[in-house]
Structure formats: C-alpha cells, structure tokens
Amino acid sequence: MSDMLEQIRTLGDQLRWARDLESPELTPNPEVLVGGMGGSGIAGDYGAALAGPTQGRVSVQKGYGPLPGWVRRSRPTVIAASYSGNTEETLDLVGAAAEEDLPIVTITTGGRLAELTSENGWPGITVPSGMQPRAAVGYMAGAVARSLTALGILPDQGAPLAEAADLADSAATEGSETWDMAHRLAVDLVGKVAIVYGGGAISSTAAQRWKTQINENAKMPAWWSAFPELDHNEIVGWETLPETTRDLLGVIALVDEGDHPRVASRLSHTSALTESAVPWLAEVRAKGDSELARLISLTVCGDLVSYLLAIEAGVDPVPVETIEKLKELLAKD
C-alpha cells in the first residue's frame, strides 16, 4: 500500500519536468477550453485557477460533446487532457472540436488520443507514463500551464514550477508540518464524511482535489463547496439533522491569501453558526509565494490526508476497481 505514497512523493519531480519542458509552438489565443475527466481533468481546473483575471479566458468541460455554443463565436483553442489517451468523454469532445475545425492541443501518454494527434498533425505534449492518472497531477497540470503560457494567457511558469516543486518535496516528507497536519486530519476523519470548503480560485480548486482524492484513495464519500455560494444554501442544511451530522461529518476549510477579504469573515461566522451541528476540524492555509506554489501546497496536504485516511481504514489506495468495472460495462453497451 506504500506505492501511492511513493507516487505522491514524485510530485516535485513532475513539476520540475514541466519546468524543463519546451513549450509547444502555438498560435496565441485568449480563449481556451480544456477538456478532461478525473485526475486528468483537474489539470484544467488548475490552469483556470492560475489564469484568474487575465487577458484571456480558460474554461473547463468535463463530459462528452457537444461543445458549448460560445465556441463558434470565440473559436477557442481546445486542450484535450487524458493521461491514458483513451478517455471516452475526452475523445468525444475532441471529435466535436475537430468537426468545428478548432485548434487542438493534446496532453497524454499515448492511446487513441496520441494516434489522433499524429494523424491530424496537432501539437501535443507527451507526458511520462506508468502512474495512476490522479497521481500524475504535476505532469498534467504542468503541461497545461506550459500550454497556457504558449497561448499567451499565463506568464512564464518556470520560477513558480521550481518553487512549487521544492515545496512539494518538503511537504511530503514524513515529520514535516504538512505531514503532521495531514496525519491529524486523517485520524479525525476516521468514520466521518469529509466536507472540504474553499473560498477563492486557489482554495476552491484545491478543495475539489481533496474531495476526489478522498474518493479514490480512501474509497470514502466526500464533498466540497465554496464560499460565498455555500452561505446562500448549504449553511442552512445543518439545521434538521444535527444528531446525525455531528457524529458522521467533519469540515475542513482551505484558506489562501488570494481569497476575497470578505471570505475570512464568512468563514468565521459560518463556523460559529454551524459548529453545534457539524465539527470544524481545521483550517489549512496555503503556503508559498506564487499562486502555483500555494495551490500545490494545498494539493500535497490533501493527497496525504487521502493516503493516510486509506491506511487508517485499512484499504489499498491504489486500485479503483469500481471505476474499472464501470468502464467494462460501458464497453459492452
């Protein structure tokens, strides 16, 4: 069961690979649509979080085609991210993009997506293979970031990738502050459903990553939400079943310096108003100077929580058998 931990600990090297990657030659475009699913699709969310309020727009589509209606007017560059290269939803989206004659960039290890890239002469980035897709987030997100730089949306990410890589190495070391925090949270979450809250581009994207990693590594339910939206609905969801939620759920808040100043007030008041119905286990603050480093700092902590929670539960974090069974059933349909 230690294999997933070793994969988590390769994140620093993955980011260094992306730092040294030669950016593809792309025609600048202020409009980008990233398509991908699961551990590959999260790379698009990372790219959108990093882009923030730039001169361009980075949208993410997780699912099949058709493409959103705005693409016919805006003509975005489509970045297709599939670690395996065989993700059926992403291949369907690529087909729809090709029918519209949109510029396409691919990020994959191989599979059908690599074949289409070669057949059509599309620019593509080949990432190293041999990992669980969810553990290859540094490769995939780094490749997306380098593509966004080539498209003129992000500034050069060399220095942020280097900072994030060093931070990932230190954070994933047993006995580090991040490791100790992750271990405490894993112990506190035993027997509970994790609810992860974010409050801005960086912290909310990380919250989504925490949720999916707990699902896949610990094989446990979890959900994520974001301020301020959750204060307009979810905050009242704790009122009717406090005897149940108090024992079975636990909230973790992720905090980043880029969150809107009012989010801090909302977090404080929301926790005070709901703590009698649901335990608030911790606030995890992003570390680092660059946005990428801060995102990676929260990523590593969440990845470690999911791994250590799997160990506490006695489950192997690597296999995702139900996902594979679903793929087999879909292949027969």
Domain assignment present for residue 111? The answer is yes
310 CB-side CA count, 13 A: 23
Among residues 232, 243, 321, 328, the one annotated as catalytic is 232
Domain assignment present for residue 114? The answer is yes
Domain assignment present for residue 323? The answer is no
Choosing from 111, 139, 162, the residue where a domain stops is 162
> How far is CA 277 from each of CA 48, 50, 229, 230, 281, rounded to the nearest angstrom?
34, 35, 20, 16, 13
Are 117 and 212 within one domain?
no
Are 106 and 183 within one domain?
no
Choosing from 162, 195, 225, the residue where a domain stops is 162
Choosing from 142, 162, 182, the residue where a domain stops is 162
Instruction: Supply the pTM of this predicted model.
Output: 0.96
Domain assignment present for residue 193? The answer is yes
Among residues 163, 216, 219, 287, the one annotated as catalytic is 216
Are 256 and 116 within one domain?
no
Residues of the chain short of pLDDT 50, as ranges, are 1
Q: What's the pLDDT at 208?
A: 98
Percent of the chain whose predicted confidence (pLDDT) is above 90: 96
> What is the count of structural domains for the chain?
2
Q: Is the peptide bond before 53 cis (omega within 30 degrees of 0)?
A: no
Alpha-carbon distance of 45 to 62, in angstroms, equals 10
Are 157 and 186 within one domain?
no
Are 28 and 134 within one domain?
yes
Active site residue 232: yes
Query: Which residues lie below 8 Å from residue 197, measured CB to CB, with a gap of 6+?
Result: 207, 224, 225, 226, 227, 230, 251, 252, 253, 254, 267
Query: Which residues lie below 8 Å from residue 87, measured CB to CB, with a gap of 6+?
Result: 36, 37, 38, 40, 113
Q: What's the pLDDT at 330?
A: 92
- Per DSSP (E only), the strands in 19-170 are 31-35, 57-61, 77-82, 104-108, 124-126
> How far is CA 22 from each of CA 17, 124, 145, 281, rounded to the nearest angstrom?
10, 11, 12, 42
Are 202 and 122 within one domain?
no
Alpha-carbon distance of 226 to 250, in angstroms, equals 15
Are 105 and 39 within one domain?
yes
CB 301 within 8 A of CB 186: no
CB 263 within 8 A of CB 229: no
Among residues 88, 234, 283, 327, the one annotated as catalytic is 327
Q: What's the pLDDT at 1?
A: 47
Are 308 and 199 within one domain?
yes
Q: What's the pLDDT at 4?
A: 95
Q: What sign does the CA torsion over 259, 264, 269, 271 have? A: positive
Are 23 and 156 within one domain?
yes
Sheet holding 249-255, edge to edge: 222-226, 193-198, 249-255, 280-285
Domain assignment present for residue 27? The answer is yes
Q: What's the pLDDT at 23?
A: 82
First to last CA, the chain: 33
Domain assignment present for residue 328? The answer is no
Are 85 and 234 within one domain?
no
Burial class (CB in 10 A: 0-12, 13-18, 19+), 210: buried
Q: What's the pLDDT at 55?
A: 76
- Tens of pLDDT, residues 215-272: 999 999 999 999 999 999 999 999 999 999 999 999 999 999 999 999 999 999 999 9
* CATH code, domain with 8: 3.40.50.10490
Domain assignment present for residue 319? The answer is no
Domain that holds residue 184: 173-313
Are 102 and 180 within one domain?
no
Are 157 and 272 within one domain?
no
Domain assignment present for residue 168? The answer is no
